[in-house]
Amino acid sequence: MSPKTDHQATVAALRADVAMLTQSIGIRDRANLGALALAARHIEASLRFSTPHVQIQPFEVSGVVYENIIARFGPESDETVVIGSHYDSVSESPGADDNASGVAGLLELGRRLSNANLSIAVELAAYSLEESAFSTQDMGSIRHAHYHADAGHKIRAMVSLEMIGFYSDKAGSQEAPDPRIAEIYPKVGNFLMVVGREEDTALTRRLENAMRAATQLPIHSINAPRAVAGIDLSDHRNFWDAGFPAAMITDTAFYRNPNYHMPTDTLETLDFPRMALAVDAITAAVIDLAR
């Protein structure tokens, strides 16, 4: 079972972390090294409050050092569950949904895992350079995936938290990458989606079932080829390429949120009460994965 939580306290904590990243710190693209450093220190401090087992994974790109922040929970074990979220933004946007929402969810997950009964290790990873280095060898998450692959570690699953804060109850607010997909899924953007490849069906179903049991927020899942637009558009793609099972949890990004990669992706556009419900669901799913 998931640790009991105070919904209003969760809403306040999520809002505070998004405000820190988007308002106090601001745009966090690769050219704003000071902002990236401030974001890294905020994430590190929060994770250290939840666990003493926090490490910085530095990596160099074109002579500049960037940082992943990795926190470990649970016992030493042969298997590990990895939950990742990127903390950088595009240069045009404060990145509230993309991806301060995912990072805020990651930090709240850390607070909850500090009191959770885990059977195997769980790593929470905050990544730099998802945006500007996407689909290249410079992404922070590719360094983390390669670290585990090169060491021969067994990853039970990697889950990317990619935009979890934007919801709408307006008719027609949800789009889809393909008419066949549009026929199956809701036309209202009030749900959270679990996304995986066809070979990750067992993982996405397990996540979906655990999440549905823990929240009133609607949860759906999709398994599709990587050629379908949006299926691999986050850090989970690098764990696929390293040979690990992986999935993404998302509010579906540009298929719903009109502020995607825009200056208007601000704190005021996010639905923090529903985001708190999303974190309830994610916590339950992570604890289920780590049984």
What residue ranges do the domains of the chain occupy?
7-289
- What residue type is assigned to position 38 of the chain? L
What is the mean pLDDT, run by run of 10 residues, along the chain of 291 residues? 76 98 98 98 98 98 98 97 98 98 98 96 98 96 98 98 98 96 97 98 98 98 95 98 98 98 98 98 98 95
Q: How many angstroms separate the CA atoms of 144 and 235, rounded?
A: 10
Q: How many angstroms separate the CA atoms of 195 and 100, rounded?
A: 19
100, two tokens: 């301060």
**pLDDT at residue 2, rounded to an integer:** 53
**pLDDT at residue 225, rounded to an integer:** 95
Largest CA distance in the chain: 49
Q: How many angstroms separate the CA atoms of 143 and 32, rounded?
A: 21
Bridge partner residues of 43 (DSSP): none
C-alpha Rg value of the chain to the nearest Å: 17
Question: Can you give the chain as a three-state secondary structure string?
Answer: CCCCCCHHHHHHHHHHHHHHHHHHHCCCCCCCHHHHHHHHHHHHHHHHHHCCCEEEEEEEECCEEEEEEEEEECCCCCEEEEEEEECCCCCCCCCHHHHHHHHHHHHHHHHHHCCCCCCCEEEEEEECCCCCCCCCCCCHHHHHHHHHHHCCCEEEEEEEEECCCCCCCCCCCCCCCCHHHHHHCCCCCCCEEEEECHHHHHHHHHHHHHHHCCCCCCEEEEECCCCCCCCCCCCHHHHHHCCCCEEEEECCHHHCCCCCCCCCCCHHHCCHHHHHHHHHHHHHHHHHHCC
Instruction: Indicate the pTM of the whole model.
Output: 0.97
Q: Are 159 and 248 a contacting pair, CB within 8 Å?
A: yes
Phi first, then psi: what are they for 159, rounded to 5°? -125, 125
Cβ neighbours of 146 (radius 10 Å): 16
Q: Are 21 and 126 a contacting pair, CB within 8 Å?
A: no
Q: How many angstroms separate the CA atoms of 243 and 94, rounded?
A: 33
Cis omega (within 30 of 0) for bond into 209: no
CATH architecture of 7-289: 3-Layer(aba) Sandwich (3.40)
Q: How many angstroms separate the CA atoms of 200 and 50, rounded?
A: 30
